[in-house]
Amino acid sequence: MKIVVIQGPNLNMLGVREQQIYGPMKLEQIHAQMKEFADQNNVDIEFFQSNLEGEIVDKIQECFGDADGIIINAAAYTHTSIAIRDAISAVSLPTIEVHISNIHRREDFRKENMIAPVCTSSIIGFGPFSYHMAMIGMLQVMNEINAAKEARKLSAEAK
């Protein structure tokens, strides 16, 4: 199984920017923890960060046929990007949206979420631990998908 983790704008500044909201942990530290968990569970993991909307769209599209699932923190693009929403919808991969802060308790403009309706699930407001929860969630989603495939296979064989 391969999971691609896509990080949006300004997440490369974690540990520096607004620590009262995002905490002191750097993106590299979050990725190291995710990599350790992935290794423990025999999961291939790839990390990508961009401040550019088009590059994020390109990366989502590259996941089609190459990855089994996406974990995405679209950051500010969560609230504005129909292009990212459409890319997630187009690839039809299990996608878990992550936010470090609780976007629903912040500025009004952050309450608009363009991508949540096309994601499998959202994990919001648990700080950097949100990413660990997303990894656990993705494993569960993949187990359910594999179990459904196996059940269909057994049903077809029984006929």
Q: Quote the pTM value.
A: 0.92
Asked if residues 38 and 3 have their Cβ atoms less than 8 Å apart, the reply is yes
Residue 124 — φ and ψ, nearest 5°? -135, 130
Q: Each residue of 117-135: pLDDT tens digit?
A: 999 999 999 999 999 999 9
Q: Which structural domain, as residue segments, surrounds residue 23?
A: 2-158
Is there a catalytic annotation at residue 132?
A: no
79 is known as an active-site residue:
no
Of the listed 31, 79, 99, 131, which one is catalytic? Answer: 99
List the CATH number of the domain containing 111.
Answer: 3.40.50.9100
Rounded CA-CA distance 65/14 in Å is 31
Q: Which of 22, 31, 79, 104 is catalytic?
A: 22
Most confidently modeled range among 12-26, 87-101, 102-116: 87-101
Give the number of domains in the chain.
Answer: 1
